Amino acid sequence: MTDNDQPAAGAASIQGQSGGVLLDALQISIGGDVVGRDKIIQNITYEAPTPIATALRQLPPPPRDFTGRAAELTELMAQAETDGVTIAGLQGMGGVGKTALALALAERLKPHYPDAQFFLDLKGADQQPLSVAAALTHVIRAYYPTAKLPDGEAELRGLYLSILNGRRALLLLDNAADKAQVEPLIPPASCCLLITSRQHFALPGLCSKDLNTLPPDDARALLLKIAPRIGKQADSVAKLCGYLPLALRLAGSALAERRTLTPGEYVKRLEDTQTRLGLVEASLNLSYALLSEELQEAWCALAVFPDTFHPVATATVWAIEKDLAQDRLDELMRYSLVDWNESTKRARLHDLARLFANKHLSAAARLDSQRRHAGYYQKISAGADWLYRQGREQLMQGLTLFDLEWTNIQAGHAWAVQYADMDPEALSLCDDYVAKCYEIVFLRQHPRERINWLETALSAARKLVRKESEGWHLGNLGYAYDDVGEYRRAIEYYEQDLAIAREIGDRRGEGQDLGNLGVAHYSLGEYRLAIQYYEQSLSIKREVDDWKGASKTLGNLGFVYSRLGEYRRAIEYHEQNLAIAREIGYRHGEGRALGSLGGVYYELGKYRQAIEYREQDLTIARELGDRRSEAKSLFLLSLCFNATDDRPQAIAYAQAALNIFTAIESPHAKTVRDLLAKWRA
């Protein structure tokens, strides 16, 4: 169930209108509390990170044994220092050492860009590269980790450029897919952008450098640095590895670790393998063959991680004790089969290694590993949600944890959806992923994406005969459809949820559903019917001591009486709402009550008083990262300024509101756009 319980005007009730009607349509609050399983999640072994203080210092150091590339480094540094190049690209085949060179270059450039240094894997070699929106969000969240960001790429890019404007920041975007992925990420001229990619493409201002394999001398030097005992065989091994840095590193690590394997024997093995495999796969296959059967299975199972992972997660995927998992992971790192980022304390498989590992993972082992992965990240998401709901510093911990593991969480949920019809555990996870993690997902997901997750969860809950979960998903679906302006459809879900609440004796849920029905009918202009639902809802909420819900319903009664022109009565309800919200520390409700009072005073022609209340409301909305409330406050402030004949200020606030309404697909966007056109005419 939801506790939406605030009205949102339907397009039909505000289309082409302005003044008081438009004001009431926009002053109401669409958002509300969402409901999931409010239980402390047990047995979470992942230690939730505190907000990362080094979010602006993300560059890992270059490999300690970095060798060669002197000419490339000299050329790139000269371009940056003398020609003023601020966009540099390293392009070449996978495994050629683009990332290592980029990190070495970034290390030298850091003093020139002291404000921030970002590192982001764009996953260009994956079937689903990182979206532009996700990349923009990565940088923005380093500065504003708790904000509810816009969903639209254009709005995110505007915020991205605004944040970086004038800053001396270095951005290393690794493994880019193509021009379309990178071009929107070009920062302001005060910053430096480094790009690596397997693809060759041109960008405005890009100084590209094609990176080839290492010269024989550098390849030999790298091998000898990793495994000095290779000795005279270094040239042969380097040639068989095609002078490719990835293959060289894997070959050298294998000889460094396996003391009983002579360099001559290694050369013979490599010669036998390369006749049927490409050089990179040959090198990987040889390193793989040197592992014990147990380690082979463990390494292949890591292919289920689509992104970086915390070492503790491997214990679940491998179904072993944490200490043993740590030992296994350390051994795989010694063979250079797993990458480790010391600054983030997270591991990953190189994309080529992940493809190889997945190829050698049996179907049965893959299914078991994916099942354990999905179960683990459902618990992680639930734990993050619980932390978020505690507020204060724990809110930040929850957001940090959720954002860090979002790719893994999505992969776990996707597996559950794929196997829901054939695996009982997957079916249960389809329900749990949503029911136990809804509040934080609500903050991060677009309403349409939420609807997809909720519909899958609803289907699972019904198959599992989980009535309580079924009710939650129905109510939250109603809330999601209300959020995008589909009020009749929202009513259908609310009514189904209400029937379940009464069937199972959930009195609190019944009060929430009645309030939500009042919201939907208000949005459709059915005010007397809305009052009936609100009064029933308020009675139940007082009965069960749901004061947060009562606060919302009092506010909604104020809205409807304001729409009916009974302003004094509306003020009484809004003041009761404000008093309760402040008494229980309900910051969101306090903001809504302040904004609502501003709306009534606007109707009474007391514009300065209205502006004062609205500005307090806007401050709280931004503090909470509530984009819907922020847009609503911005627009209603624009009306206030227009009423005081300050048209430039009115246009500025309305445009800011339109940007947000458009990004979140609000039905109010058209109304604001039309009014702006009128003002600018």
Residue 275, pLDDT score: 33
Region of poorest pLDDT, from 396-400, 546-550, 644-648: 396-400
Q: What is the three-class DSSP state of 596? A: helix
Beta strands 339-341 and 346-348 are antiparallel
Q: What is the pLDDT of residues 41-81, one digit of tens each?
A: 334 334 434 334 457 888 999 988 899 999 999 999 888 87
- Contact at 8 Å (CB) between 51 and 141? no
Q: What is the pLDDT of residues 132-190, one digit of tens each?
A: 999 999 999 898 887 778 878 999 999 999 999 999 999 999 989 889 999 999 999 99
- Contact at 8 Å (CB) between 163 and 140? yes
Cα Rg, the chain, nearest whole Å: 29
Greater confidence (12 vs 432) lies with: 432
To which CATH superfamily is domain 70-210 assigned?
P-loop containing nucleotide triphosphate hydrolases (3.40.50.300)
Q: 424-435 and 363-390 are packed helices; what angle lies between their axes, rounded to 10 degrees?
A: 20
CA–CA gap between residue 268 and residue 272 (Å, rounded): 6
CA angle 658, 659, 663 (to 5 degrees): 110
To which CATH superfamily is domain 2-39+505-680 assigned?
Tetratricopeptide repeat domain (1.25.40.10)
Beta strands 207-210 and 339-341 are unpaired
Distances in Å between the Cα of 338 and the Cα atoms of 94, 101, 373, 433, 605 are 16, 19, 18, 29, 67
Residue 628, pLDDT score: 83
Residue 391, pLDDT score: 64
Q: Tell me the pLDDT band of 286, cut-offs 50, 70 and 90.
A: low
Q: Does 29 score more than 60 pLDDT? A: no
Across the chain, mean pLDDT equals 85
**How is residue 206 annotated by DSSP?**
-
Residue 557, pLDDT score: 95
CA–CA gap between residue 485 and residue 479 (Å, rounded): 10
Q: What is the three-class DSSP state of 175? A: strand
How big, in percent rounded to 5, are the helix, strand and coil portions of the chain?
A: 65, 5, 30
How much is the pTM?
0.66
Number of Cβ within a 10 Å radius of residue 82: 8
Structure tokens at 366: 């893959």
Quote the percentage of the chain above a pLDDT of 90: 56
Q: What is the pLDDT of residues 317-341, one digit of tens each?
A: 999 999 999 999 998 887 778 888 8
Q: What is the pLDDT of residues 391-432, one digit of tens each?
A: 667 877 888 899 899 999 999 999 999 999 999 999 999 999
CA–CA gap between residue 325 and residue 301 (Å, rounded): 12
Helix and strand numbers (H, E) in the chain are 33, 9
